[in-house]
Amino acid sequence: MAQPMHTLVRIVSTPRGAVSGAILLIVILCALLASWVAPYSYDIQNLPGANLEPSASHLLGTDEFGRDLLSRIIYGARTSLAVGFTSIGASVLVGLVLGGAAGYFGGAFDRSVTAIVDLTWSFPEILIALILIAIAGPGLHSTAIAISIAYLAQFTRLTRAQIIGLKNETYVEATIGLGASHGHVLFQHLLPNALTPVIVAGMLATGDAIILEATLGFFGLGAQPPTPSWGAMMSSGTAQIFIAPWIIIFPGVAIAGTVIAINLFGDAIIDALDIRGKLRES
Amino acid sequence: MTLLSIRDLSVCIGRLRPLDGISFNLDKGEILGVVGESGSGKSLTATSIMGLLPLIGGKVLKGSMYFDGIDLTTLDEASYRRLRGRRIALISQNPMTSLDPIVRIGAQIDQMASLHLGLSPQKARARSIELMEQMRIPQAATVYGQYPHQLSGGMKQRIVVAMALAADPDLIIADEPTTALDVTIQAQIVQILIDLVRERGLALMLITHDMGVVAQACDRVVVLYAGRVAESNSVEGIFAEPRHPYTRALIRCIPRGGQARGSLVGIPGVVPRVLDYPRGCRFNPRCDLAQPICYTETPPVHADGSAAVACHFSEVRAHV
């Protein structure tokens, strides 16, 4: 990514990149500016106004406690994105260091890291998350930690594959031959060169992480009430599905829209940078 | 004054022994050519001196390497790291890939100065630009901010030389520094290296397979063949009176002006692989002087002052 701005311009000049980018931007702005954008508070109950269908005063209707659904979805974006980005961000950072060291130094360290990582990869993410939440208890923190551990294997393997490809480059030998330490070579030269595909993989995984967060929320294992979470909102909507279907539909649309936008935008980045082959290396 | 002294150095990688009893000296202010075909152990000698054998799974089996009184064979990694770049700098083979593609030229030279000399960013920058100007890089201040892909091969190789010089080393090991460049650029880079040695009193170990470069640049020559020293002598001595049949064959390979069409000669056969080195003299399958003794006995090294030759028939004067 020698010229990030140039790449960005190329991404948003395609229809797919422009539409998905715009949706993502709206979701991110909603999350950041929730308290200004949302017409109501997310937790003020109004029981006489429960299960109201969409109208001018409540654009998306109200839920079973009379809370404004639009406001809750806007605040829910904050939960989803915060969990998605922080958990995947942490996962990418640890994966870079772990996979980088494993790929660069090789030997017994590499074998043990690869073995552990392969072991976690053989379990479905949701199972790892459920085990961790069973140990640490439900809540947003456990959800975020569980997601970052569940996705660690992917970034570790991808980074390791990149580093193994890069470490035989002449500039590595040249830099060591001029007295650089292994840490310098790994962090100043190899990891920056390996960064692009890992970050794009992280971007795509963020979509998966949002779904996982919603799933855990749906089971009541993620964000605890009254914190709005799209998954938990859908879960509470199941009881009202015949009398107030908007309670389950609109959070579902929010999840699907956000995840599809992230995936399309990630695809657009991959095509703009032409790195589809590199992502398969892990 | 002897800066680098290598005695009877043998290196093994697993069960292979790609270097087998190499000896030579390198004085301050001297340019030593190390010549031989691919697979003769030239680059491995450089790797050994730089202490980078562990990276390729090799180790020193026996022999000694002394650099300015420091025993390199027993030096620990931390001390070695202070030596690399600071006192011995390696210019590696391929200028096209010797630079990190995503780091600006200036930053790559700067990092050497700050790593070894602890210079501040401003001082490192001034020094890097000065070095680049000494490398005769036009518009050094502009190039300082550019990326490697914006430069030509010759310019990149100059940057690599500038990086090697950044911490003021005493010895530069240049591993085929001109192989990937075209002939006119080759001559320029070799001239830059020669001038550096003369101006700064450095020592230069120039690894090459080009006898023409040796004739242009070197004071002394070590001819390696299949992991052993075939012959070493002053450059005048080597060209005037080559005593090893392999050296003679190498010299015959230099194209000369006015040569008749079709008269360009090579050396028949290939360098034996390290797995199946022949018994006795390792040059015997390709040697036109080979006698029965060459197939059974390893030729002893006949040393004579700074000259040495390992051939049973080094006294036979064949015409070149």
Question: What are the start-end ranges of the H helices in A33-139?
Answer: 34-37, 69-105, 107-121, 125-136
What is B2-87+169-309's CATH number? 3.40.50.300
Instruction: Write the pLDDT tens digit of every residue in A78-102.
Output: 888 999 999 999 999 999 999 999 9
Most distant pair of Cα atoms in chain A: their distance: 76
> Exposed, middle or buried by CB within 10 Å (0-12, 13-18, 19+), for A218?
buried
Dist CA B309 CA B228 (whole Å) = 11
Residue B255: is the preceding peptide bond cis (ω within 30°)? no
Nearest to A174 among B103, B160, B166 (CB): B160
Radius of gyration of chain B (CA): 20
Query: Do A85 and A24 meet the contact criterion of CB atoms below 8 Å apart?
Result: no
The low-confidence residues of chain B, meaning pLDDT below 70, are: 258-263, 316-320
3-class DSSP state of B173? strand
pLDDT of residue B56: 84
Name the residue among B54, B51, B55, B71 with its Cα closest to residue B63.
Answer: B71
Taking the domains of chain A in order of start, what are their residue ranges?
58-279
Which residue of B55, B80, B87, B92 is the best one to mutate when testing the A interface, meaning the one whose CB has the most A CBs within 10 A? B92
Taking the domains of chain B in order of start, what are their residue ranges?
2-87+169-309
How many H helices and E strands in chain A?
13, 0
Dist CA A201 CA A154 (whole Å) = 8
Distance from CA of A175 to the nearest CA of B (A): 8
Cα B215 vs. chain centroid, distance in angstroms? Answer: 14
Nearest to A178 among B55, B90, B94 (CB): B90
Dist CA B79 CA B176 (whole Å) = 27
Nearest to B52 among A171, A176, A189 (CB): A176
Question: What are the start-end ranges of the H helices in chain B?
Answer: 42-49, 77-83, 105-117, 121-134, 140-144, 153-165, 183-200, 211-217, 235-240, 245-252
Which residue of A175, A190, A191 is the best one to mutate when testing the B interface, meaning the one whose CB has the most B CBs within 10 A? A175
Q: Which two tokens stand for residue B275?
A: 């797995």
Q: Which residue has the tokens 């790593």?
A: B115
Q: Which two tokens stand for residue A225?
A: 């009430």
Instruction: Write the pLDDT tens digit of every residue in A104-135.
Output: 998 899 999 999 988 888 888 888 888 888 89
Least CA distance to B160: which residue of chain A?
A174
A253 versus B265: which is more confidently predicted? A253
Query: Do B151 and B105 meet the contact criterion of CB atoms below 8 Å apart?
Result: yes
Which residue of B55, B94, B98 is the best one to mutate when testing the A interface, meaning the one whose CB has the most A CBs within 10 A? B98
Compute CA distances A179 → A144, B18, B86, B172, B173, whole Å. Answer: 41, 25, 7, 13, 13
Contacts of B245 (CB under 8 A, 6+ apart): B283, B287, B288, B289, B311, B313, B318
Nearest to A169 among B83, B97, B115 (CB): B97
* Crossing angle of helices A246-273 and A191-218, rounded to 10°: 170
Distance from CA of B187 to the nearest CA of A (A): 22
Dist CA B131 CA B93 (whole Å) = 21
Distance from CA of A173 to the nearest CA of B (A): 8
pLDDT of residue A143: 87
Distance from CA of B4 to the nearest CA of A (A): 17
pLDDT of residue B263: 66
Nearest to A177 among B92, B101, B167 (CB): B92
Residues from B in contact with A at Cβ < 8 Å: 50, 52, 55, 81-86, 89-94, 97-103, 111-112, 115-116, 147, 160, 163-164, 166-167
Dist CA A185 CA A189 (whole Å) = 5
pTM of the complete model beyond 0.80: no
* Chains A & B: contacts with CB separation below 8 Å: 70
CB contact under 8 A, A177 and B84: yes
pLDDT of residue A282: 57
Q: How many CB atoms lie within 10 A of CB B1?
A: 8
The CATH architecture to which A58-279 belongs is Orthogonal Bundle (1.10)
pLDDT of residue B93: 75
Nearest to A170 among B84, B97, B166 (CB): B97
Least CA distance to B93: which residue of chain A?
A170
- Mean pLDDT in residue range A154-181: 88
Name the residue among B174, B169, B163 with its Cα closest to residue B202.
Answer: B169
Distance from CA of B58 to the nearest CA of A (A): 15
Residues in chain A within 8 Å Cβ distance of B82: 179
Compute CA distances B155 → A145, B130, B193, B196, whole Å. Answer: 49, 15, 14, 17
Distance from CA of B60 to the nearest CA of A (A): 18
